Amino acid sequence: MGSAAGTCEIARLPEDLLSAALALTTPRDACRAAAVSRAFRDAAGSYAVWTRFVPRDLPPVADGELAGPAPPSKKERFLRLSDCRCPVLLADGLRIQPVPKNPLLAYGLKSMWLDRGSGAKCYMLLERGLHISWGCTPCYWHWMNLPDSRFEVAELMSVCWFEIRGKIHSKMLSRDTAYAAYIVFKIPFGSYGLDYPPQKASIDTVAGKKIIRKVCLKSYEGRHVNRQVTVPLAPEYNKSYRLGHGRNPVLPKERTDGWMELEMGVFYNKEGDDGEVRFSLLQTSGTSKEGLIVQGIEIRPKKLG
């Protein structure tokens, strides 16, 4: 009886009032509320709610990225922009179709989508938008297309000094949001030099804080397949630990799209931040490295705690 009465009271509230309340939440919360009652369901699908969830400061999108009939509603537009399987290429990159077998192939500097749970903006800094030491030298890096990537990727042929850098302006990110940066890559059979010594990942924030962590692109004996973040690696590492040289490096995880990702660090984009956030992955030992395939650096919200 109490539940029925509660449902009745909610149904008596004006839909505009329910919509205004839901617009102050998140897309995830609005969808959950829609399952509570018909009144919430009607309000959760309203124009006012989904207008609030689609950011007004979206960066310009490249021509043709949202081609076709316009979405029939703001909710449908949000669902299109939040499809992480098909991020949109931004206008700071040129979109072309150089390969007939892959008409969706795109060259660009950044792609974007919205986080479906929070509505926060997510980005991929594509390979052409990164600074890679000796990246334009064919004997060190080879640029190519893969059937499971819409964007051009870079394959490491052979280097000793390994360095990848990227940056994004804080105003492109969602305010008051915790973000994590990930290097997205593959390591084909026959690669070497990527397991030891470990690499150094760093993030330079707008506030001048430098976040540094030790990472490892290739875990020892393929132990990353269990999706653990940090596990003991080769005997060389254990010897280093006994000498007090630091913690285990962060290891990669397998993604649902078949690629690997390695968390480079976490930072918070505060209201009022105005400047560049910089990312880097570095390994400068004299050991030769070969076989890494890099898609880019992905920046997406991370729930803390």
- Which positions ≥6 away from 40 have C-beta within 8 Å? 10, 18, 22, 33, 34
Residue showing tokens 């309340």: 21
Q: What pLDDT is stored for residue 99 in this prediction?
A: 44
Q: In the prediction, which pLDDT does 7 show?
A: 52
- Residue 165 is encoded by which pair of tokens? 């850098």
- The full set of domain ranges for the chain reads 11-53, 110-222+246-301
DSSP state of 111: E
Domain 110-222+246-301 belongs to what architecture? Sandwich (2.60)
Which ranges of the chain have pLDDT less than 50?
Answer: 1-2, 5-6, 94-106, 221-234, 237-238, 240-245
Closest by CA to 213, choosing from 231, 229, 201, 221, is 201
pLDDT of residue 268: 96
- Quick count: other Cβ atoms within 10 Å of Cβ 26? 16
CA distance 144 to 35: 46
H/E run at residue 204: strand 199-204
Mapped to the 3 state alphabet, what secondary structure does 212-242 carry?
A: EEEECCCCHHHHHHHCCCCCCCCHHHHHHHH
Predicted confidence at residue 254, as pLDDT, reads 93
Q: CA dihedral defined by 106, 123, 280, 278, rounded to 10 degrees? A: 120
User: Could you give the residue ranges of the DSSP H alpha helices within 111-180?
Assistant: none
167-187: burial string, b at 16+ Cβ within 10 Å, e else: bbebebbbeebebbbbbbbbb
- List, for residues 255-268, the tens digit of each pLDDT value: 999 999 999 999 99
State how far the Cα of 112 lies from the Cα of 50, in Å rounded to an integer.
18
Tokens for 272, please give them. 């009022």
